[in-house]
C-alpha cells in the first residue's frame, strides 16, 4: 500500500534525477485522494487557471459560470466591457447566484432576490429596510482575480499570486505571431474521462506515442522532431516542423494561413503545455486548446476548443471546410483519451512500479517535477 507520508521528498528521489536517469511518478500520484487534495490546495487554488475564450462573452451582461475544484465562479462582462470574476455565493445567506451562461442586466440571487450589478456591487435588497446598520456597500460579491492574455481568460484564487504575464513568462512573446486576440473559438467539445488530470497533460507533451496511438491518423503526416523548447515561464513546449497544417489529417486541405505569420512558426506547429493543465496546438491556420479540469484523483473533464482568425470564420465556405478540422480532433483526441484511460487502469495494479523515460519524454519529466516542486514538503 501507499507510504503513510506521501509528501516526504525521499519517495521521489528517482523522479528528481536528471531525465535520462529518472523514473516516472509513483502510482499514488495518479490514484490517491490525499495526493489529489494536496494538488488542489497547492496547485489548482494558487496558480492561474485557463477558463475560456473572452469571445464567449462578447457583450456587456454576458456571463458564464465556471465550476472548478469545488469553487463556483461567475465570469461576467460589465457595462464598461471589462470582464470580471466573482465568487458565485450570495452575500445574504450564500445561495449560488447564477447558473449556466447567458446575458443579464444584473445578477439576481434566486433565493431572496438580492441583486448585484455587473461590477459585483449590491444594488437591490428587498425587505431589508428594518435591518439595523445594514450597509449594502459592504456586501458586494467577492471578487476573484481575472486576467486576459490573447483573448484567453484566466482566473486565480490566490489574491497574492504573481501577474498572469509574469506567470506565463516568455510564452507571451513566443506566440505573438499567432494574433490570438484576433481569434474566435468556433467549437467547444467536452469529454469526461476516467483518468488523472496529469495523464492527458503528460501525453500531450511527448511525441513518443504518435506512431502507436495515432498510427492511422497523425502518424501519416511527415514531421521533424526537435528537442523540447527552452522556456522561461510556467509552461513547457514542443515545436514540430512539418508541411501544411497539423489541425488537419493527411490529405485534407483547409483554410489559408494566419495573416502575417512568419518565421519558424509559419513552418510547423508550436505545442505549449501551460501548467497546471491547459494544452494548446498552435498551427499555421488556427489553434486548438484542451483545458483539463480535475474532478477527482481518477476523473478529469476535458474541454476542447477550436479557434480560427475572425476573417476565417467570415468565409462563405467556413462551415464546410471547418468540418475537416473537427474530424481531425474528433479522431485524435479520443485516441489520446483511450491511452490515458488505459494508463489509469494499469496504474491501479499493485504490480505497477515507476518506469524509465525515453529522450522523447523529457517534458513529462519536467511536468512531474513542476508538480513535485509544489506539492512536496521541504526536506528536513
Residue 163 near which of Fe ion, ligand FES, none (CB within 5-8 Å, type-dependent):
none
Q: Which stretch binds ligand FES (CB under 6 A): 24-32, 74-82, 91-99, 311-319?
A: 91-99
Give the range of 42-50, 141-149, 319-327, 332-340 binding Fe ion by CB under 5 A. 332-340
122 lies in the site for ligand FES, by CB under 6 A: no
Residue of the chain from 206, 336, 361, 368 that contacts Fe ion (CB under 5 A): 336
Which of ligand FES, Fe ion, none does residue 114 bind to, with CB < 5 to 8 Å depending on kind? ligand FES
Q: Does 144 bind ligand FES (CB under 6 A)?
A: no
- Which of 286, 265, 298 minimizes the C-alpha distance to 36? 298
When asked if residue 134 is in the footprint of ligand FES (CB under 6 A), the reply is no
Cβ proximity to Fe ion: between 47 and 306 the closer is: 306
Q: Is 164 helix (H, G, I), strand (E, B) or coil?
A: helix
Q: What is the rounded distance in angstroms from the CA atom of residue 180 to the CA atom of residue 184?
A: 8
**Could you say which of 10, 17, 79, 93 contacts ligand FES (CB under 6 A)?**
93
Least distance (Å) from ligand FES to the CB of residue 102? 18
Nearest to 367, CA basis, from 276, 304, 254: 276
C-alpha cell at 221: 503526416
Instruction: Residue 223: name its binding partner from ligand FES, Fe ion, none (Cβ under 5 to 8 Å by kind).
Output: none
143 neighbors 85 (Cβ within 8 angstroms): yes
Residue 336 contact partner, candidates ligand FES, Fe ion, none, CB within 5 to 8 A by sort of partner: Fe ion
Cell numbers that stand for 238 in this block: 514542443
C-alpha 272/C-alpha 270 separation (Å) is 6
Dist CA 4 CA 54 (whole Å):
44
Q: How far is the CB of 336 from ligand FES (least distance, A)?
A: 42
Contact criterion met (CB below 8 Å) for 286 and 307: yes
Contact partners, residue 162, CB within 8 Å, separation at least 6: none
Q: Which residues of 319-349 are buried (b: 16+ CB within 10 A; e: fewer)?
A: eebbebbbebbeebbebbbebbbebbeebee
For the bound state, the minimum distance from the C-beta of residue 117 to ligand FES, rounded and expressed in Å, comes to 15
Chain position whose Cβ is nearest to Fe ion:
336
Q: Shortest gap between Cβ of 107 and ligand FES (angstroms)?
A: 10
Q: Write b or e for each residue in 86-104: b if 16 or more Cβ atoms lie within 10 A of its Cβ, otherwise e.
A: bbbbbbbeeebbbeeeeeb
Residue 136 touching ligand FES (CB under 6 A): no
Query: Using the rule CB under 6 A, which residue among 90, 98, 118, 249 binds ligand FES?
Result: 90
Minimum gap (Å) between residue 122 Cβ and ligand FES: 10
List the x/- string, 102-121, binding to ligand FES by CB under 6 A. -------x-xxxx-------
- SS3 of residue 108 by DSSP: strand
Taking the C-alpha atoms of residue 339 and residue 334, their distance in angstroms, rounded to an integer, is: 9
Amino acid at each position: 500500500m501507499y507510504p503513510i507520508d506521501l509528501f516526504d521528498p525521499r519517495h521521489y528521489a528517482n523522479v528528481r534525477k536528471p531525465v535520462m536517469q529518472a523514473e516516472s511518478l509513483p502510482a499514488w500520484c495518479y490514484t490517491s485522494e490525499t495526493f489529489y487534495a494536496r494538488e488542489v490546495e497547492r496547485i489548482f487554488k494558487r496558480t492561474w487557471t485557463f477558463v475560456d475564450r473572452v469571445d464567449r462573452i462578447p457583450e456587456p451582461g454576458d456571463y458564464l459560470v465556471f465550476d472548478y475544484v469545488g469553487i463556483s465562479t461567475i465570469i461576467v462582462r460589465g457595462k464598461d466591457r471589462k470582464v470580471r470574476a466573482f465568487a458565485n455565493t450570495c452575500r445574504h445567506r450564500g445561495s449560488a447566484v447564477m447558473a449556466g451562461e447567458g446575458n443579464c442586466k444584473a445578477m439576481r440571487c434566486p433565493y431572496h432576490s438580492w441583486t448585484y450589478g455587473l461590477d459585483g456591487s449590491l444594488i437591490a435588497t428587498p425587505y431589508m429596510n428594518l435591518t439595523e446598520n445594514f450597509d449594502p456597500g459592504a456586501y458586494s460579491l467577492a471578487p476573484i482575480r481575472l486576467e486576459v492574455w490573447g483573448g484567453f481568460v484566466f482566473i486565480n484564487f490566490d489574491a497574492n499570486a504573481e501577474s498572469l504575464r509574469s506567470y506565463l513568462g516568455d510564452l507571451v512573446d513566443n506566440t505573438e505571431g499567432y494574433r490570438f486576440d484576433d481569434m474566435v473559438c468556433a467549437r467547444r467539445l467536452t469529454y469526461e474521462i476516467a483518468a488523472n488530470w496529469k495523464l492527458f497533460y503528460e501525453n500531450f507533451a511527448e511525441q513518443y506515442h504518435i506512431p502507436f496511438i495515432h498510427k492511422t491518423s497523425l502518424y501519416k503526416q511527415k514531421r521533424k522532431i526537435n528537442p523540447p523548447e527552452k522556456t522561461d515561464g510556467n509552461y513547457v513546449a514542443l515545436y514540430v516542423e512539418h508541411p501544411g497544417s497539423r489541425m488537419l489529417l493527411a490529405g485534407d486541405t483547409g483554410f489559408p494561413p494566419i495573416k502575417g505569420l512568419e518565421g519558424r512558426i509559419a513552418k510547423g506547429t508550436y505545442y505549449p503545455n501551460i501548467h497546471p493543465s491547459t494544452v494548446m496546438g498552435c498551427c499555421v491556420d488556427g489553434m486548438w486548446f484542451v483545458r483539463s479540469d480535475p474532478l477527482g484523483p481518477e476523473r478529469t473533464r476535458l474541454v476542447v476548443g477550436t479557434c480560427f482568425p475572425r476573417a476565417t470564420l467570415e468565409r462563405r465556405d467556413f462551415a464546410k471546410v471547418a468540418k475537416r478540422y473537427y474530424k481531425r480532433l474528433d479522431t485524435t483526441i479520443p485516441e489520446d483519451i483511450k491511452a490515458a484511460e488505459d494508463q489509469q487502469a494499469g496504474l491501479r495494479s499493485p504490480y505497477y512500479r515507476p518506469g524509465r523515460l525515453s529522450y522523447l519524454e523529457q517534458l513529462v519529466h519536467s511536468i512531474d517535477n513542476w508538480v513535485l516542486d509544489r506539492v512536496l514538503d521541504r526536506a528536513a
